[in-house]
Structure 1
Amino acid sequence: MLTVACAAAPSAWADDTALLNRGNDPFLQVSAAVPACPEPAGPRVSEAEWMRESHHRIEHGNHCWLEGRCRLPNAYQYDKDVADSLQRRLHTLDLQLPAWRRSSLWITVSARWILVQGCTAPDFPAAAFFAALREVADAERVIDQTTATPARGVPYPLFHPAAAAPK
């Protein structure tokens, strides 16, 4: 039995540097109008990064329950519902604030936090857009990591497709 387990293990260890969404955090590209906008890494991390962050994720996930701010015992249990509500809210914004679509945005939902990364047009209605996202049910915080000048750099880590490919 030990021989079989050891024989299978190297293939599992071979991908320890691959960037994967190890926490299954909802990660959505919601617009794609700025062609030169680099894709964020989003929730994709290596195994080493995942292990380094695991203690923080556990503490962050349970913190709102311990403080009495969550009805569920872990903040990450809200993420799928927050992502679903977010998509409905974005659909409503299409009708109310269509200018937001002149952007290239990716959104990560993690522990009730909505992280918006990407590039916007100079006339992007940021105040109204982020105010609308703060209305998403069960969202605790909305974080803006966008730029209207991607040629000067972006305020987020970039996705490197080669690192995401299985080895």
Structure 2
Amino acid sequence: MSFPSAFALLLCALGLQSSCVCADEALQNRGHDPFFQISSAIGNCPEPLGPRVSEAEWKGESHHRVEHGSDCWLEGRCRLPSAFEYDDEIAESTRRRLQWLSSSLPAWQHSTLWVTVYERWIVVQGCVAPDFPSRAFLSALREVPDVLQVSDETTANPKRTIPYRLFRR
């Protein structure tokens, strides 16, 4: 039995979860959440929707972003007033971490992956080779400063299962 990722559960709770969304819905990265492709070795890997949302989804999500973005700071657990303020810094640190992993764990590049940084979470989506070093790769991303959680939404068999929402051009 496959459990939905925490990111998918969050989207589902916000009413944003569906299997596919088409580009004609004016999808945009309205929250400017870092979203970038980190590898491209596996052909025909479907592109994830990532943080692209419609205007209606954005309006539905805005309350959550305000409330949950500031909880950490209000509770005195964070140095910045919003969890989202960490995301650009986490994205940059993730890029540096991936450069280091290119020499210390080069097998991670046998993949086609995208990363979204959202509210101090790193969400990894895409396709991996059957021998992909998932445990070591995800563990290395968890070591990026200020990251709360790393969510693995990858598949070694994209013809059978895709564990993320798809972006259709």
Q: Give the TM-score taking structure 2 as reference length.
A: 0.84
* Partner residue, 1:94: 102
* Partner residue, 2:25: 17
User: What is the 5 A alignment of 1:90-129?
Assistant: 90-129=98-137
* Greater C-alpha radius of gyration: 1
The CA deviation at 1:56 is 1.0
The CA deviation at 1:153 is 2.2
* Partner residue, 1:159: 167
Give the conservation status (yes or no) of the 8 Å contact 1:26–1:80.
yes
The CA deviation at 1:92 is 0.4
SS for the counterpart of 2:167 is coil
**Structure 1: gaps of 5 or more residues:** 1-15, 162-167
Which one-letter code corresponds to 1:55 in the other structure? H
Select 2:77's aligned residue among 53, 58, 69: 69
**Structure 2: gaps of 5 or more residues:** 1-23
Tell me if 1:82 matches 2:66: no
Tell me if 1:132 matches 2:140: yes
The CA deviation at 1:67 is 2.1
Runs of 4+ residues deviating >6 angstroms? none
Give the conservation status (yes or no) of the 8 Å contact 1:109–1:115.
yes
C-alpha RMSD of matched pairs (Å): 1.4
Give the conservation status (yes or no) of the 8 Å contact 1:26–1:108.
yes
SS for the counterpart of 2:46 is coil
The CA deviation at 1:17 is 3.1
Give the conservation status (yes or no) of the 8 Å contact 1:17–1:48.
no
Q: Give the TM-score taking structure 1 as reference length.
A: 0.85
Give the conservation status (yes or no) of the 8 Å contact 1:75–1:112.
yes
Pick the structure with more helix per residue: 1
CA distance in 2, matches of 1:82, 1:67: 21
SS for the counterpart of 1:151 is coil
CA distance in 1, matches of 2:150, 2:72: 16
